[in-house]
């Protein structure tokens, strides 16, 4: 017996060949009305009749049995879910993609394009709002323009100014004009770096972040612990364009190898099968510290995990030095994260694991489970040079079944103060930007 939507596939192949429905029905020995019901998925078919139809259409029976492209229907379902007005209505994605494949591909392409543009808009908005280098450059331009205007006003308002003072103000205008020109050119160069890239990476940390995202934070050539493979991995990436970004990559990949030696991937996979996504239980089973275990779990290929996971790492200053984002729970690229994250609270309680359920305010987000801990970094020295790093693993949780209650309390955190409406939060740094209208 074939899939219910095999009829749709039959119809598309028949129309593509320009064969009339009645002629094809006659060729396979059935009535036109019966064949019409097959094409509209009202009758299931199998065995010899299905093979005869495939032979008449000159295609392999498996092609007709496959029905609609699974990836295409998944994209259409994602597009439907993303629209509040369409979410919850009857899902006709497979029927639509089967009957109108060209239109389905067009809609899927437009949906993917919209997603890309939304991500680009969010990235650029975040960058414009929080990029300190851009803010400094604009402040420098405004200061220079103000200085030029001030000198020009004095020359205009004081016609009887002594020649020596006139020359001094004229020299100021010439020097400030040159400074304005240099500052404007530097700003143009800064904004032009990778202008065509969707994520708009311009700084070494941006290049490094995209490099890790491209590889899903997993580097199979390094799992054997061979340091010589680092150069091969770096040379194979088009993301690492600057020497500074490549230096960051060497540091990260060296740490990756160190972690892989402590917890081989085979041992980690075995622990995941036995313990599930429980980092504390896995750490005990493999005999490793929790921080290393969190990093290794975040490096497991996505297809081997029950759900994608995220990982944030902060240094002793609170700066996020690694961000593996996860859908439904993310932090800005160019500004500080919410101070209420367990990631930062862990730094005040070194070596003490913190397990907490969270969700982000001001957005449609699901509950996630987080594990956090602060430990000395592997490159840390002794005494006054002891360096701490805080880790937070993010695990999206499956939705609760109807009637099922959340046993553990769920904390609410923000993405940034600017888009978090928790006005009484003691960690607030700036007022929230309320939507207009």
The more confident residue out of 28 and 80 is: 28
Q: Is the pTM above the cut of 0.75?
A: no
Question: What is the share, in percent, of the chain residues with pLDDT greater than 90?
Answer: 27
Mean pLDDT of all residues in 83-89? 58
Mean pLDDT of all residues in 177-196? 73
pLDDT at residue 332 above 80? Answer: no
Q: Please report, for the chain, how many H helices and E strands are present, in that order.
A: 17, 6
Q: In what order do the strands lie in the sheet with 310-314?
A: 320-324, 310-314, 388-396, 368-376, 354-360, 410-413
pLDDT at residue 227 above 60? Answer: yes
Q: pLDDT class for 86, splitting at 50, 70, 90?
A: low
Q: pLDDT class for 404, splitting at 50, 70, 90?
A: low
Do 256 and 211 touch, CB atoms closer than 8 A?
Answer: no
The more confident residue out of 88 and 423 is: 423
Q: What is the pLDDT of residue 291?
A: 96
Do 340 and 413 touch, CB atoms closer than 8 A?
Answer: yes
* pLDDT, tens digit, 9 for 90 and up, residues 120-166: 676 666 666 666 667 777 878 888 888 888 888 888 877 777 888 88
Q: What is the pLDDT of residue 52?
A: 86
Do 190 and 133 touch, CB atoms closer than 8 A?
Answer: yes
Q: What is the pLDDT of residue 432?
A: 65
200 vs 207: CA distance, rounded Å: 9
Q: Provide the 10 A C-beta neighbour count for residue 25.
A: 20
HEC profile of the chain: CCCCCHHHHHHHHHHHHCCCHHHHHHHHCCCHHHHHHHHCCCCCCCHHHHHHHHHHHCCCHHHHHHCCCHHHHHHHHHHHHHCCCCCCCCCCHHHHHHHCHHHHHHHHHHHHHHHHHHHHHHHHHHHHHHCHHHHHHHHHHHHHHHHHHHHHHHHHHCCCCCHHHHHHHHHHHHHHHHHHHHHHHHHHHHHHCCCCCCCCCCCHHHHHHHHHHHCCCCCHHHCCCCCCHHHHHHHCCCCCCCHHHHHHHHHHHHHHHHHHHHCCHHHHHHHHHHHCCCHHHHHHHHCCCHHHHHHHHHHCCHHHCCCCCEEEEECCCCCEEEEECECCECCCCCCCCCCCCHHHHHHHCCCCCEEEEEEECCCCCCCEEEEEEEEECCCCCCHHHCCEEEEEEEEECCCCCCCCCCCCCEEEECCCHHHCCCCCCCCCCCCCCCCCC
Q: What is the pLDDT of residue 40?
A: 77
Q: What is the pLDDT of residue 3?
A: 45
Q: What is the pLDDT of residue 241?
A: 84
* pLDDT, tens digit, 9 for 90 and up, residues 259-303: 999 999 999 999 999 999 999 999 999 999 999 999 999 999 988
Mean pLDDT of all residues in 237-255? 90
353 vs 355: CA distance, rounded Å: 7
Six-digit token pair at 52? Answer: 């005869």
Q: What is the pLDDT of residue 265?
A: 95
9 vs 61: CA distance, rounded Å: 11
Q: What is the pLDDT of residue 365?
A: 65
Range with lowest mean pLDDT among 60-64, 111-115, 148-152, 291-295: 60-64
Q: What is the pLDDT of residue 2?
A: 42
pLDDT at residue 200 above 60? Answer: no
The more confident residue out of 8 and 260 is: 260
Q: pLDDT class for 199, splitting at 50, 70, 90?
A: very low
Q: What is the pLDDT of residue 196?
A: 44
* pLDDT, tens digit, 9 for 90 and up, residues 342-354: 999 999 999 999 9
| C-alpha dihedral sign at 304, 306, 310, 316 | negative
CA–CA distances in Å: residue 156 to residues 85, 145, 177:
62, 16, 17
pLDDT at residue 210 above 80? Answer: yes
């Amino acid at each position: 017996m074939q899939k219910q939507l095999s009829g749709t596939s039959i119809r598309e192949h028949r129309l593509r060949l320009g064969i009339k429905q009645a002629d094809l029905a006659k060729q396979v020995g059935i009535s036109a009305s019966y064949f019409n019901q097959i094409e509209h998925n009202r009758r299931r078919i199998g065995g010899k009749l299905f093979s005869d139809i495939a032979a008449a259409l000159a295609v392999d029976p498996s092609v007709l049995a496959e029905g609609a492209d699974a990836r295409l229907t998944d994209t259409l379902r994602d597009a439907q879910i993303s629209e509040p007005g369409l979410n919850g209505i009857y899902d006709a994605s497979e029927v639509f993609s089967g009957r109108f494949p060209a239109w389905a591909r067009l809609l899927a392409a437009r949906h993917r394009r919209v997603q890309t543009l939304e991500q680009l808009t969010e990235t650029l908005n975040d960058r414009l709002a929080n990029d300190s280098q851009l803010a400094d450059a604009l402040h420098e331009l405004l200061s220079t323009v103000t200085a030029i205007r001030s000198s020009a006003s004095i020359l205009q308002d004081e016609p009887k100014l002594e020649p020596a003072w006139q020359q001094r103000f004229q020299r100021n205008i010439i020097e400030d004009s040159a400074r304005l020109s240099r500052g404007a050119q530097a700003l143009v160069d800064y904004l032009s770096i990778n202008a065509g890239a969707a994520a708009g990476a311009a700084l070494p940390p941006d290049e490094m972040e995209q490099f890790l995202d491209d590889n899903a934070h997993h580097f199979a050539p390094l799992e054997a612990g061979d340091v010589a493979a680092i150069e091969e991995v770096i040379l194979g990436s088009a993301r690492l364009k600057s020497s500074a970004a490549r230096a960051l990559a060497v540091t990260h990949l060296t740490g990756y190898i160190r972690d892989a030696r402590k917890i081989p991937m085979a041992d980690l996979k075995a622990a995941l099968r036995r313990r599930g996504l429980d980092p504390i239980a896995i750490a005990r089973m493999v005999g490793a510290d929790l921080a290393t275990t969190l990093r290794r779990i975040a490096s497991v290929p996505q297809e081997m995990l029950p759900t994608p996971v995220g990982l944030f790492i902060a240094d002793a200053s609170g700066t996020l030095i690694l961000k593996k984002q996860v859908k439904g729970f993310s932090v800005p690229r160019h500004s500080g994260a919410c101070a209420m994250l367990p990631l930062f609270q862990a730094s005040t309680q070194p070596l003490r694991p913190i397990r907490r359920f969270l969700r982000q305010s001001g957005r449609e987000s699901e509950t996630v489970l987080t594990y956090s801990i602060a430990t000395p970094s592997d490159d840390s020295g002794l005494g006054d040079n002891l360096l701490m790093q805080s880790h937070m693993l993010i695990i999206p949780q499956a939705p609760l079944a109807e009637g099922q209650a959340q046993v553990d309390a769920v904390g609410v955190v923000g993405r940034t103060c600017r888009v978090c409406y928790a006005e009484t939060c003691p960690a607030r740094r700036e007022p929230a930007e309320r939507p207009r209208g």
